[in-house]
A and B are shown apart, each in its own frame.
Chain A
């Protein structure tokens, strides 16, 4: 380590500690100001007098911090340091890349490695499928609970919210645990799979490089057509929905349309992803850009239709109404 690097190291440590300290001082100051006021039973906690009383310490820290940063820039001019980096290759993308390089034929070791890769891949898929199923089931249960008006009958909103939290927490926890476990499992499996993939590449027959086949082309074109049809259907539905709603102005109906619209939008986005990913793998560039173009036209048309519907159903007015007045709770004053 040369002199410049040493200076940079010490300065870096000093500035990190100072930065964290400034943050802590500010948070503690505001918490203390609030709780002391609350304990004293004050109706108005933040007054100019009370704030200026406690502001001294945080400001000293803040000014020191600013001075330290300016000092740092001066230091970096006088003692420039050549950046070094660690950083590694991303395992997931490495795996994805290397998999395409496994030869199509090979000896015994090659087939053993191939079999292992298959197994590991299958285990990853199963684990993710289980985790996602738990997630989906939990979401459905939570949503059913959330959209049932019978669960909000208590007079106190706090009680309602607490009941809500009590009822969903198990499901939230379950899906969280499953997803974290799946991610952990994934990270371990990726390492194992990577080793097997490397083995398969090394032991395979170098002359039998994999050929990309276009056998899925027809399927992809079909899927693109189906996806575009779905988009069109959604578009018509979105256009018709408000007319239907106007006929049945019950609150529940609006909530249902909202869920419908939201679900369809999500379906479109996910559908677009699937179509695009399959297209990326299996069809030539032209068909791929056609798929992307279909999605673009569909999304663009839906967006414009939505804006037009929104202007007529008062949505635009709502945006203005909210934006031109300070809603005290939005900016954290409430």
Chain B
């Protein structure tokens, strides 16, 4: 029995999270500090979303407090017929320059998720020539889905973020499942289930496949698929932080590459995620952290070592055997007694600092030097930042949500500026107002949309067709984009859309945008998701609402239903 407890204690000692793991969890929490979003099923709308986080973290995740660089990049490219994506290029280049793929090793929740799944104890598929070949797939995906698809669609005037739409498992998991699993989003005007279709089916399957693969392979998404990792890989050789290899010390023994689970050819190349796990296996101490003089311990291995020059390679080979992709064991945990010592050293000993060092390993007790205080202050600042972020983001006021009772709630009246021609015959926002009160007694279809929203732009022509077909109804396309740039209209100007204005019952108006959402949209029960459509009956009550793209047949069906309803004035007589 005593033996059993010793084993358990050993297990805990060996499984104490490494410094890297703690940073990964920290990052995940910080990126998703808006934890109230998970409870409410809504997303955060503050100005912090001007900025991007370095790793992949879907901006439609209820917890996310900043934008995802990969999504923002694709979105910027979808606007490339009017705006060049300077901002996001700059942000990504800056992150790449400072951190390189260290972002993958330390600051990406998707990487963390895959590493945790890899800990499940099944046989593993190791790296090989073929996985290395496969690792070039991510460059193809970068070119095709992240760059070509958005740009090609942009030239046709539609937004299509290829990677987000067809692959990204982070979007499906954090954004998709995070929102639809919330009961608040399963009914009423916020119903998201209504719009699930082929793309959700496909993306859910991709998500499951990647999760299953991650159990058998180390970081399959990062190695083969992730375009963001591919981009950061370009910056690895010049990144200011990360691992560095001193050529003059390296003896070319190859232990580092054999130990590494990524498809690297040499330490610090474009596949290297700068996890630093090879630092402790290098017998020549040739690998260390960049900037290790100031921030972190370099490559000293705090275990008794033979004197320089008489390094026992076998000993390090033994250390290298602890963690490998080919072994039955998934992490550094299953070391034997002698290996345990080597293992605990670099990671555990440093985290637990001085007190525990003495008890876990044979490392001599060190004085609290400059480095200790630097590290201590770094952790203190980090914890303070996290707590502040959690408090700040959770205290932000929640966006207003209007409850709509279909068939009973009277449609709120609104008066908004219309788009139309000015004296120079160019299409602009006019001073003239559209007043919903002027059209009392008529069936009105109000569609809330935005230029960047692919499904919105996709469905607008249906609305135009229906407006042409049913002359009795009023069709209002309420634009809820917050970018007040005149050029967003160029894409509308150039197409057949101008004809729609000739119908006489089709109006383009501009919503008053408050906190990222139009106030009229909110008053009609709209929340975060576009497109959003409401149909108002002759009695002035909301007879139908739908979040998400509305198929044409449903639109026609609902319009006919509303038209067929008895006129309230006639029935009063």
Chain A interface residues (CB < 8 Å from chain B): 8-9, 11-13, 15-16, 19-20, 22-23, 26-27, 30-31, 33-34, 43-48, 51, 69, 72, 76-78, 80-90, 92-94, 97, 146-147, 149, 152, 157, 160, 164, 180, 183, 187, 238, 241-242, 245, 249, 251, 254-255, 257-258, 261-262, 265, 269, 272-273, 276, 280, 285, 292, 295-296, 299-300, 302-311, 313-334
Q: Which residue of B lies closest to A26 (CB)?
A: B208
Partner-binding segment picked from B157-165, B377-385, B434-442, B504-512: B157-165
Quote the shortest CB–CB distance from A2 to chain B (angstroms). 13
In contact, A87 and B258 (Cβ under 8 angstroms)? yes
Give the nearest-CB partner of A307 in chain B: B90
Contact: B121 with A15, CB < 8 Å? yes
Please name the residue on chain A nearest to B147 by beta carbon.
A262
The answer on a CB contact under 8 Å between A314 and B483 is yes
Which residues on the A side are within 8 Å of B4 (C-beta)? 78
Q: A322 and B67: CB pair below 8 A?
A: yes
Q: Which of B45, B235, B494, B528 contacts A299 (CB 8 A)?
A: B235
Contact across chains for A273 and B237 when beta carbons are under 8 A apart: yes
Compute how far the CA of A76 lies from the CA of B529 in the bound complex, rounded to whole angstroms.
Answer: 46
Q: Is the CB of A321 within 8 A of B80?
A: no
In the complex with contacts A27-B209, A77-B11, A15-B120 CB distance below 8 A: yes
Q: Which residues of B contact A19 (CB under 8 A)?
A: 120, 122, 212, 215-216
Give per-residue flags for B427-469: 1 if the beta carbon is below 8 A from chain A beta carbons, else 0.
0000000000000000000000010111100000000000000
Q: Is the interface of A mostly helix, strand, loop or mixed?
A: helix
Distance, CA A152 to CA B157, complexed state (A): 11
Whether A9 and B133, one on each chain, are in contact in the complex, defined by CB atoms closer than 8 angstroms, is no
The residue on B at minimum CB distance from A81 is B334
On whether A322 and B71 interact (CB within 8 A), knowing A183-B133, A300-B97, A328-B530, the answer reads yes
Assembled-state Cα–Cα distance A330/B54 (Å): 19
Chain A interface: which of B197-205, B300-308, B351-359, B534-542?
A: B197-205
Which of B364-372, B401-409, B410-418, B547-555 lies at the interface with chain A?
B547-555
Q: A12-B328, A306-B93, A326-B179 are in contact. Are A157 and B156 (CB under 8 A)?
A: yes
A319/B87 contact (C-beta < 8 A), A299-B235, A332-B165 known: yes
Complex contacts, A326 vs chain B, CB 8 Å: 43, 60, 175, 179, 528-530
- Which residues, 306 to 341 on B, are CB-close (under 8 Å) to A? 320-329, 333-336
Contact A93 B266 (CB under 8 A): yes
Cβ-closest chain A residue relative to B65: A323
Asked if B49 is at the interface of the complex by the 8 Å CB criterion, the answer is: yes
B residues near A82, Cβ cutoff 8 Å:
334-336
Q: How far is the CB of B423 from chain A (nearest CB, A)?
A: 20
Inter-chain contact total with CB atoms closer than 8 Å: 377
Interface status of B27 (Cβ within 8 A of chain A): no
- Residues of chain A with a CB closer than 8 A to B390's CB: none
Asked if B108 lies at the interface with its beta carbon under 8 angstroms from chain A, I say: no
Interface residues of B in 480-499 (CB under 8 A from A): 481-483, 485, 487, 490-491, 494
Residues of B within 8 A of A77 (CB): 7-8, 11
Q: Is B129 in the interface zone, CB < 8 Å from A?
A: yes
Of A27, A88, A149, which is within 8 A of B155 by CB? A149
Question: Can you name 21 A-B pairs with beta carbons within 8 Å?
Answer: A19-B215, A26-B204, A30-B205, A43-B551, A85-B321, A85-B324, A85-B326, A146-B148, A251-B491, A251-B494, A255-B81, A292-B237, A303-B93, A314-B483, A321-B481, A325-B43, A326-B175, A326-B530, A328-B531, A328-B547, A331-B164
The 7 closest A-B pairs by CB, nearest first: A310-B87, A306-B90, A315-B87, A331-B175, A332-B203, A23-B212, A307-B90
CB contacts (< 8 Å) of A180 on chain B: these are 133
Q: B494 contacts which chain A residues (CB < 8 A)? A: 251
**Complex contacts, A83 vs chain B, CB 8 Å:** 321-324, 327-329, 334-335
Please name all residues of chain B whose beta carbon is closer than 8 Å to the beta carbon of A310 when the two chains form the complex.
Answer: 85-91
Hey, which chain B residues are within 8 Å of A251, CB to CB? 81-82, 155, 490-491, 494
Is B195 touching A304 in the complex (CB atoms < 8 A)?
no
* Chain A residues with CB under 8 A of B216: 16, 19
Q: Are B196 and A22 in contact (CB-based, < 8 A)?
A: no
User: For the complex, is B222 an interface residue (Cβ under 8 Å from A)?
Assistant: no
Q: How far is the CA of A323 from the CA of B65 in the complex (A)?
A: 9
Query: Which chain B residues border A269 with CB–CB below 8 Å?
Result: 234
Q: Is the CB of B254 within 8 A of A93?
A: yes
CB–CB A323/B329 < 8 A: no
Which residues of chain A have C-beta atoms less than 8 A from B155's C-beta?
Answer: 147, 149, 152, 251, 255
From known contacts A78-B7, A157-B158, A325-B516, infer whether A299 and B83 are also in contact, taking CB-CB under 8 Å: no
| Contacts beyond the supplied A307-B91, A332-B172: 14 A-B pairs with Cβ under 8 Å | A69-B120, A84-B321, A92-B265, A238-B86, A245-B84, A254-B84, A261-B89, A309-B90, A313-B87, A316-B50, A319-B52, A320-B47, A324-B44, A333-B529
Q: Which of A23, A147, A265 contacts B208 (CB 8 A)?
A: A23
CB < 8 Å neighbour of A255 from B80, B133, B161, B487: B80
Contact flag A45-B90 (CB < 8 Å), given A149-B155, A255-B81, A296-B240: no
Q: Mark B532-573, 1 if CB is under 8 A from A, else 0.
A: 000000000000000111010110000000000000000000
CB distance from A266 to the nearest CB of B (A): 9
B224 at the A interface (CB under 8 A): no
Query: Are B86 and A334 within 8 A (Cβ)?
Result: no
When C-beta atoms are compared, the residue in chain A nearest to B335 turns out to be A83
Say whether B90 contacts A27, CB under 8 Å.
no
Tell me whether A330 and B334 are in contact (CB under 8 A).
no
* Chain A residue at smallest Cβ distance from B117: A19
A273 to B194, CA, bound (A): 50
Residues of A within 8 A of B237 (CB): 272-273, 276, 292
Report which of B202, B211, B483, B551 forms a contact with A321, defined as CB distance below 8 A: B483
Neighbouring B residues of A328 by C-beta, 8 Å: 192, 195, 453, 455, 529-531, 547-549
Contact A48 B197 (CB under 8 A): no
Q: Once the chains bind, are A255 and B490 in contact (CB under 8 Å)?
A: no
> Which residues of the partner chain A approach B192 to less than 8 Å between Cβ atoms?
328, 333
Q: Which of B62-96 contact A (CB under 8 A)?
A: 64, 66-68, 71-72, 75-77, 79-91, 93-94, 96
Residue of A nearest to B128 (CB): A88
Instruction: State the Cβ distance, B130 to closest chain A Cβ, in Å.
Output: 9
Closest Cβ of chain A to B449, distance in Å, is 11
Question: A residues within 8 A CB of B240?
Answer: 296
CA of A88 to CA of B310, assembled, Å: 24
Report the minimal beta-carbon distance from A192 to chain B, rounded to whole angstroms.
15
Tell me, yes or no, whether B473 is within 8 Å of chain A by CB. no
Contact assessment for B482 and A90 in the assembled complex, using a CB-CB cutoff below 8 Å: no
CB-CB under 8 A for A89 and B258, given A8-B328, A319-B67, A332-B199: yes
Q: Give the complex CA separation of A299 and B240 in angstroms.
A: 12
Contact B201 A34 (CB under 8 A): yes
Q: Is the CB of B328 within 8 A of A81?
A: yes
Q: Which residues of B contact A81 (CB under 8 A)?
A: 328-329, 334
B111 on the interface (CB 8 Å rule)?
A: no
A330 near B265 with CB under 8 A, answer no
- Interchain CB contact under 8 A, A20 and B212: yes
Which residues does chain A contribute within 8 Å of B176, judged by CB atoms? 331-333
Q: For residue B491, which residues in chain A have a CB less than 8 angstroms away from its CB? A: 251
Q: Nearest Cβ in chain B — how far from A317, in angstroms?
A: 5
